[in-house]
Amino acid sequence: MAVEVLELAHGTDRLVLIGIQRRGVELAERIARLIEQDEGVVVPRGALDITLYRDDLETVGPKPVIGETRIPGDLGGKHVVIVDDVLYTGRTVRAALDELADFGRPERISLCVLVDRGGRELPIQPDVVGTKVKVGDGERVDVLVEELDGRDEVDLVSGK
Amino acid sequence: MTAALGKDLVGLERLSPDQIRLILDTAEPFKEVSERPIKKVPALRGKTIVNLFFEASTRTRISFEFAEKRLSADTVNVAASGSAVQKGETLVDTARNLEAMRIDMVVIRHPSSGAAAFLGDRIRSNVVNAGDGKHEHPTQALLDLLTIRDKHGKIAGLKVCLVGDVLHSRVARSNIWGLSKLGAEVGVCGPDTLMPRGIEELGVCRFRRIEEAIEWADVLNVLRLQLERMEMGFIPSVREYYRVFGVTLERLEKAPRPLTIMHPGPMNRGVEIDSRVADGPHSVILDQVTNGVAVRMAVLYLLAGGRPELADAAKRGAE
């Protein structure tokens, strides 16, 4: 995926990786580290918590703990790659696009996800995908990362 | 799903330690919103909030207004002067008329203790107490707690002394509730005439001399001496008050450890606090103001979670 991100951005010159809280932040960090090893360049990375840009505050209620949002410098003229663990309805990405727009005007924004599980409710498609999974109704995809969960794993969980 | 805070924020007396911690933790990320190039998030887009102020206020009203605007809510300010209140309309009628215009929240400042709870029980909208009489001023205490936590990394185990006019202070009452619930030791210090009777029953230590309070405390929260009290005979003179209870540099220099100095504002320099202390290295008075916006954003955000069933229940209870 790191190689694909590099190809997408034509190198590291203008590349900025922004992970979506929480697992996306760890994945962005890993991609950045892989690029650093291969290219010897430190890619600016950031974190985005989209909670305050959700469209469902009324129905799900406030999420008690809001994660950190940290944007590395001015995004003007940059190629921002949004990194998240699972792409499902596309609503999180919609919120992330709105939020990024309030931080500046990147030249381009792309989307990189570890798992695409289908089921989109908005016209949003990823540019870089780790794997595609067919998931039935009522099933859930959980991505675990070592930094937060103690192990790396992608689980298909059925039921609620 | 139950709301994290319920329908209204009336006072800290009614909140559990976990609810208080939830507000402080939620305030944390809101600090960053105020540092963004566009200081605004859409979380409360489409919500209408009325700031109903029956008493003069600059800092609190502006702080609430910033909090509301930075969450993208629509706001209307109503002051008692120049409104139908002057024509004799009751509080509930005023609020019901506002509700008829489909508002979502009311932030109320009122000279009568209990006004916020009274209103909250009678209208569907969320009610936030911005100070009611001598009762409570919960968001002020919450921002004080956040500022103490920022400075010391904790609240439990700290010794916090409220200095001055505790008798008339809703800030003091909310602080005592909040601090004790989070495990701090609370002290009070001031002239006997400005101490409520039975204050020790709230579990606070009583200091009669400011020197003793300074020796004991980690944090001094210096309350405003409401100057109008002097005419009412609570203190002999402002100069004497400063001489006996003023938080001066000379007194603080004798402290066994550096004290964090807080003041809810507006300050009377040279009355309850020395200018050199207010502007000194241990003063966090302006941090309190910055944190006020974040804490109020957190409260509004948590209350706005959309709980029609609770609002309905509250309304039924009032009928």
Strands (E), B20-163: 48-53, 74-79, 105-110, 126-132, 159-163
Rounded Cα–Cα distance for residues A155 and B232 (Å): 71
Q: What's the sign of the alpha-carbon dihedral B30, B36, B42, B48?
A: positive
Q: Count of CB atoms within 10 A of residue B80's CB?
A: 18
Quote the ipTM score: 0.74
Query: What is the model's pLDDT at position A160?
Result: 56
Query: What is the model's pLDDT at position A139?
Result: 86
Query: What is the model's pLDDT at position B306?
Result: 42
- Look at B26 and A53 and tell me if their CB atoms are within 8 Å: no
Instruction: Please list the rounded mean pLDDT of every run of 10 residues in chain B (319 residues).
Output: 76 95 92 90 93 92 97 92 74 90 95 95 95 96 98 97 95 97 97 91 94 97 84 86 95 95 95 96 97 96 64 38
**Range with lowest mean pLDDT among A17-21, A64-68, A114-118, B235-239:** A64-68
CA angle B237, B134, B319 (to 5 degrees): 160
Classified as helix, coil or strand, B197 is: coil
- Look at B29 and A61 and tell me if their CB atoms are within 8 Å: no
Rounded Cα–Cα distance for residues B47 and B51 (Å): 13
Residue A37 pLDDT > 70: yes
Query: What is the model's pLDDT at position A11?
Result: 87
Is B26 annotated in the active site? no
Is B87 annotated in the active site? yes
Rounded Cα–Cα distance for residues A84 and A27 (Å): 7
Per residue in A98-153, pLDDT (tens digit) is: 999 999 899 999 999 999 999 999 999 999 999 999 888 788 898 999 888 889 99
Query: What is the model's pLDDT at position A148?
Result: 87
In DSSP terms, B105 is beta-bridged to B49, B126
- Look at B26 and A66 and tell me if their CB atoms are within 8 Å: yes
CB B179 within 8 A of CB B155: yes
Size of interface A-B (CB pairs under 8 A): 60
- Look at B37 and A104 and tell me if their CB atoms are within 8 Å: yes
Peptide bond connecting B42 to the previous residue in cis, omega within 30 degrees of 0: no
Query: What is the model's pLDDT at position B222?
Result: 98
Could you say which of B70, B135, B137, B170 is catalytic? B137
Q: Tell which residue, B107, B183, B167, B164, has the closest CA to residue B138.
A: B107
Is B263 annotated in the active site? no
Q: What does each C-alpha distance from A33 to A2, A9, A42, B194, B209 come to in angstroms?
A: 9, 16, 8, 62, 60
Q: Tell which residue, B163, B168, B161, has the closest CA to residue B230.
A: B168
Query: What is the model's pLDDT at position B310?
Result: 40
